[in-house]
Every structure is written in structure tokens, then in C-alpha cells.
Structure 1
Amino acid sequence: MPVLKTKPLTAAAFAPFGDVLDTAGDPDKLINQGLCGRYHDRARLDFGPGGRAGISLFDAEPRRLPYRLEMVERHPDGSQAFLPMHRNAWLVIVAEPGPVPGRVHAFTAAPGQGVNLHRGTWHGVLTPLHAPGLFAVIDRIGDTPNIEEHWLKDPIDIH
């Protein structure tokens, strides 16, 4: 069985798949009488035709490393942002694009980091590594199906 080591989540390494949402660097500007740093416009949200932005709350059960990846999914009609409502590391799994998933990449998101997956990005399921597994998710709400699943012929163990 293939084994994949996680790497730290950085904006540069994750750029082909989406946006890293964090407060790295200096704020774009100070607001609220100079007491709040605004890190402006950190994600390219895309909800496609016939959709709108929605905010949902996901409460996922924690997983452990090594984690066996058996399935990835994608949302062809809209981006999907995951914002942890906790201060714990969590696992972000993505795959290179194509009609079927390409090479898989695994990242460890540091406490305080979220991600926005670009429309159509193959990705693993929400994978917190600690309780609570609570996330705010901003994604497309619409009347048409917006999910494709792909089960891997050879599961991958992620360490």
C-alpha cells in the first residue's frame, strides 16, 4: 500500500489547489480604532451559475495518523472553504486535477489555518486530528448536485 507523508500547509505549496486562510504576515490594514488587523480578501470564492454562498457548520469526528485514504471528492460547481472553530492541527488532503484524481498531497494545517478549495479540486473528507472537529464551511448552495466521488483503486496510508 502506498504511504504518503504530510507536509506543513503553506500558501505556496497549496496554491494549485486553493487558498490558505490564516493571518500570516502583516494585516492589510488596521480597523476598529486600530485595534483589529484586517487580512483582506484571502480567498477566491466561486459559486458557479445558479448557486449562492452559504455558511454551514460541520462537526466531524477526529481521525488518527496513519490515516487510510480510500476516497476523494470534488465539487464541480463551487469552491469550498473550511474554517476551523478550534485551535488544533488538522489534515488537508488534495489531489492533482483531471477527470480522475492525479497525485495526492497531504498537508497538516497548523492551529488557526483554514483553506479554500478551488472549484473542482479533488480532496479528502474533512479530517480533524483532535476534538472538537467543528468547522464553519462556506460553499455553494443550489438546487443541482455538486459532488463527485472517486474511490481509489489502491488506498493510501497517510502519516
Structure 2
Amino acid sequence: MSQAIVIQQISAEAFGPFGDLLDCSGEPDKVINQGLCGRYHDRARLDFGDGQAGVSLFKSEPRSLPYRLEMVERHPEGSQAFVPMSMHAFLVIVAPDEAGVPGRPLAFETAPGQAINFHRGTWHGVLTPLSEPGLFAVVDRIGAGANLEEHWFEAPYMVGRRETLV
């Protein structure tokens, strides 16, 4: 029997325990390029053990709602940022750590133009675009050694908007 998780709109406050919400809200920290570009400076806490930061491109198939959540993962050696390369919302799933295993997951939906950075060691769902093209720049640790832990739930969760979980 699956449990339901209702998606909430992401906010910096609600997502804060798990990572950084990256967007252009508020005034830019600096205006550059002859006054034509606002710089929103240093918005993610990148954190890596051995290794270095790398930028990769991920192309993921869109998922539909309700979404069946069977597994979460975490990266003990580094943070991981998902930066969409299109103006589409995507699903972000996180779970608190409870003595080395994930607790009850939370689900957020970004607004178009927002990106996220998971803090090092945060339990999270896989990259979950909700529409095409599903293309993301991912900033994470590149280096030797294991940096992936997976946890498969005994029973899946169904994740959706209130109206899709009826």
C-alpha cells in the first residue's frame, strides 16, 4: 500500500534544511556588463570532499503525476546542483536523515527559472523533469571513490498535486 505525498511550491525557507534554492528573486547583488546584467552572486553552497567540482549535462525523460517514488539517494562526498536549461518547472524530492536512513519524503515543485543545490549528504529523489526537454546542467563532485548511496523504500510513495492523488 503506497502513502501519498502532496507536492508543495518550493521556497527558500521550506527547502533550506536540504539545500539552496537558486533564483533571481530580489535585487541583484551587483549590476555588470555596462548596466545590462544583474549578478546574483554565490547562491549555492558547493561542498566537496576529495575531488573537484564538475559540470555535466543530464537529459532525463519527463515524468508524469502522480509519480511513484520507490528510491532516494544521497552523495556523502559532495553537494549536487540541478540547473534546468529550459524555463520549465521540475519536481524536487528530499527526505530528512533519521539515523542514517531517510525519513518521510517531502516534495516540491520549482517555478520556471529556478534551480536547486542539494547539500552534501541530503537524501533526494532522482532528477525529475515534468516536461520536455528534461535538459539540465548538473554541478557535482568529480573524483575517485564512492559518492552514491541509495535507499529503496519498503512501500512506494505516490507523489502528486492534491487533485492527482484522489
TM-score for the superposition, normalised by structure 1: 0.98
Q: Residue type matched to 1:56 in 2?
A: S
SS in structure 2 of the partner of residue 13 of structure 1: helix
Cross-structure match for 1:96:
96
CA apart distance, 1:58? 0.2
CA apart distance, 1:54? 0.3
Q: Which runs of 5+ in 2 are unaligned?
A: 161-166
SS in structure 2 of the partner of residue 42 of structure 1: coil
Q: Residue type matched to 2:39 in 1?
A: R
SS in structure 1 of the partner of residue 62 of structure 2: coil
TM-score for the superposition, normalised by structure 2: 0.94
CA apart distance, 1:145? 1.1
Q: Residue type matched to 1:55 in 2?
A: V
Whole-Å separation in 2 of the counterparts to 1:133 and 1:29: 31
Whole-Å separation in 1 of the counterparts to 2:72 and 2:118: 13
Q: How does 1:72-87 map to 2 (within 5 A)?
A: 72-87=72-87
Cross-structure match for 1:118:
119
CA apart distance, 1:103? 1.9
| Deviant stretches of 4+, over 4 Å | none
Whole-Å separation in 2 of the counterparts to 1:68 and 1:105: 13
Q: How does 1:4-19 map to 2 (within 5 A)?
A: 4-19=5-20
Residue-by-residue CA offset, 1:13-39 (whole Å, 9 max, x unaligned): 000000001101111110111110000
